[in-house]
Structure 1
């Protein structure tokens, strides 16, 4: 019965109803327009802010740590297994639509991260926490909607998404070495517990060291493969574009599959609009001290995740001859492609990459769920222990579950979160535009960029003492 419910909800959100695909595209276009294509106009400014993003305070982590934490959650199965799934079900054209949703998602990610930072709160230990539940409650005064989002997030990031990552890790190691799913799951639980016991700061410190290393290593490997096969690159690019618009043989039948799977897997990877990244954005003490600075930092995260890392996997697969099969394929397809390029060592490389990518997601997912404990006044020892036990238990379940079942539950959780979050951020467009213009004007005029309560008119109110001296 549970499986039937999951399938029915996903059919409305992702399938015949395609509600979420329409909402995500519309939201991306909306904020691209309202913010004056900020992802293009201020593209280089993202990197300027990155240079000054390493300072932290006792209340918040650094902007760089917030970026690495969000990338830890983003960079996982979506970048290796998810891309393979998109190609196997939607063909090469699915990659084009992943790029489209990434471009639009940069504006959406900017908008939601600005709100996450603006409406952040302090937990019982005096550290910054926030996310959609907080800006829905404080900005819109809709407590029931905030609670609904928090419950969806607990289900998704607190439990199901970590099960997805564990499933991919165990599947990769089983394919490569024949390791038992059960015992691999126990190892994942042990390692995750060592890190999450340190809370958000422990997770952030782990992320800022491991994420740059794994991302740079993976991109370098992809670039080497692309250089070796450089004569095939023009044909691959042409295939991506032609397939994206149904110009290949049997293209009309594949067009819908390319769009659906490209957008669906692109969203799952970069998470723009889902309401997850604002949790990382809210935890930061930004430089400059203005909510919009976190919009730029997290917008960069969407670009790195999808345009760089997902594209790296796509070219590895397509240069090895990967194509649509009509059957859902996961990490095995990526491993097979790498074997084509470098021999049997490819399986080892992809297994190591997916273990790192997915494990960082497992750890970061915990932080997102923990951020919502404050919403229910459970950010205490008992609340955290109960949450941690449930989180670790789901990792073991995911390690042994069937691939379609795990992904279907993940899609449902992500879809429900996204629907609530998109409604909220569109509703709060006046606040996003007003505070963004405040930053744009100060940036253009060369004035000191900072923010205090009262600088602009916003919806609702921020927590006392966060953006004021009171």
Structure 2
């Protein structure tokens, strides 16, 4: 196992090297300029759409908000607590800046993914919508083999990034904080996941619509309380983040490259922009235009990386737990930071946050994995087997050491990203068309209400 873990480590380091990081950031940068800084121009409209009334006549299975909640459920997980801390351990406080930058560019990427997912989605034999990279690679780019590759990697990746990693993080943290047996946590998690997953996307959408806002608000309010009550430390922490981002100071290894790689890689692990997972949920949304749901999906990165990850990262930097003081694991480091400001209640708060974040990820990724599996095998029996195995892995992940699964998750993430990035670049013209269509539509809707036009021209 040690040999295999070493091999996986080498593969992960190679895949997440300079070429893929340039590919992810470069795609986001390219789409940002091609779409005329759409994530800035249309952000107010996007936030309004998140909570807008749904057109019941539109095709789709769930509301804009339910689709966003499902995607948020899948992305807001251990990456927001453990992953951010891990990035700071590897690259110093400067990693947070590169996480912010990749998140900003990732908003354009996320728009593109969702727009393509809705445009090229299909209705399956049960009358439910199916979409995502496998469909826009096949139907849009006309490269089915790339769609098949993505589906293979996605259906396998679900057991890593969306399942074993999450259940193990919950069980370990619950055991460390409350002394609860990892077996007991595993059993409860597996039962919870099974009940939700077997209900399909409509049940998942309903559960996450209530689950996600609560868990996000809980963690955000806790972080804001720390920052408000220690406001004098905030400007200094931000200054450290920016200075470290370009000098590499306080980075383990002392190189600016460590900060960039850690920030971008963990940012992608957290918000999944470029991986192609979130558009699978976006494809299920009831919407009249691809661009309308794409704008809603774009806000996912804002909430995930630019808000929730920032709370974790800034709390760690404000506590001074970086460089020589950062002699902890990622999860322990976050616990230490919250304990620094909130005393014994800090680790309890982090544990509760991690419990909600990781449990929701298990639910969201179950949908991603089964949609990829369904693309490969059009069999109800095979899908039932996949769901059963997925629930079983929830229990297994909670009860056995899974250090190797983190490496496995990184490898599968990279393998998903490659065909998806090819699709985004190859269909960038289609994305630009959908961006123009929704911009024009929003302007028409504003004019129809008699209000002053607030939708900026490109």
Per the normalisation by structure 1, the TM-score is 0.90
1:226 has 2:243 as partner: no
Task: Identify the residue that residue 186 of structure 1 maps to in structure 2.
Answer: 187
The structure-2 alpha-carbon separation of the partners of 1:100 and 1:45, relative to structure 1 and needing over 3 Å to count, comes to same
| Mapped contact 1:243–1:251 kept (Cα < 8 A) | no
* 1:306-362 CA distance string (max 9 Å, x none): 001001111222222211357672211111211111111112111111101100000
Unmatched tracts of structure 2, length 5 or more? 449-458
| Mapped contact 2:186–2:395 kept (Cα < 8 A) | yes
Per the normalisation by structure 2, the TM-score is 0.92
Task: Identify the residue that residue 355 of structure 1 maps to in structure 2.
Answer: 355
Task: Identify the residue that residue 212 of structure 1 maps to in structure 2.
Answer: 213
* 1:141-163 CA distance string (max 9 Å, x none): 22211111000000112455311
Distance 1:9 1:76 in 2: 24
Structure 2 counterpart SS, 1:52:
coil
Distance 1:180 1:56 in 2: 46
| Mapped contact 2:251–2:259 kept (Cα < 8 A) | no
Task: Identify the residue that residue 61 of structure 2 maps to in structure 1.
Answer: 60
Question: 1:377-456 maps to which residues of 2 (within 5 A)?
Answer: 377-380=377-380, 382-446=381-445
* 1:72-118 CA distance string (max 9 Å, x none): 00111011111111111111111111100000000000001100011
Distance 1:6 1:247 in 2: 27
Question: 1:254-403 maps to which residues of 2 (within 5 A)?
Answer: 254-286=255-287, 289-324=288-323, 329-380=329-380, 382-403=381-402
| Mapped contact 1:59–1:126 kept (Cα < 8 A) | no
The structure-2 alpha-carbon separation of the partners of 1:448 and 1:148, relative to structure 1 and needing over 3 Å to count, comes to farther
Following TM superposition, by how much is the alpha carbon of 1:374 offset from its aligned partner in structure 2, in angstroms? 3.3
Task: Identify the residue that residue 34 of structure 1 maps to in structure 2.
Answer: 34
The structure-2 alpha-carbon separation of the partners of 1:36 and 1:321, relative to structure 1 and needing over 3 Å to count, comes to same
Distance 1:282 1:44 in 2: 22
* 1:418-441 CA distance string (max 9 Å, x none): 111001110111211122222223
Structure 2 counterpart SS, 1:253:
coil
Distance 1:55 1:329 in 2: 47
Count of aligned residue pairs for this structure pair: 444
The structure-2 alpha-carbon separation of the partners of 1:324 and 1:415, relative to structure 1 and needing over 3 Å to count, comes to farther
Task: Identify the residue that residue 463 of structure 1 maps to in structure 2.
Answer: none
Unmatched tracts of structure 1, length 5 or more? 450-470
Following TM superposition, by how much is the alpha carbon of 1:363 offset from its aligned partner in structure 2, in angstroms? 0.6
Following TM superposition, by how much is the alpha carbon of 1:54 offset from its aligned partner in structure 2, in angstroms? 4.4
The structure-2 alpha-carbon separation of the partners of 1:66 and 1:448, relative to structure 1 and needing over 3 Å to count, comes to farther
Distance 2:296 2:166 in 1: 25
Distance 1:240 1:8 in 2: 29
| Mapped contact 2:164–2:402 kept (Cα < 8 A) | no
Cα RMSD of the aligned pairs, angstroms, is 2.1
| Mapped contact 1:53–1:64 kept (Cα < 8 A) | no
| Mapped contact 1:163–1:397 kept (Cα < 8 A) | yes
Following TM superposition, by how much is the alpha carbon of 1:250 offset from its aligned partner in structure 2, in angstroms? 7.3
Distance 1:247 1:164 in 2: 29
* 1:374-406 CA distance string (max 9 Å, x none): 3134352x1222101221222233223445312
2:8 pairs, out of 6, 9, 15, with: 6
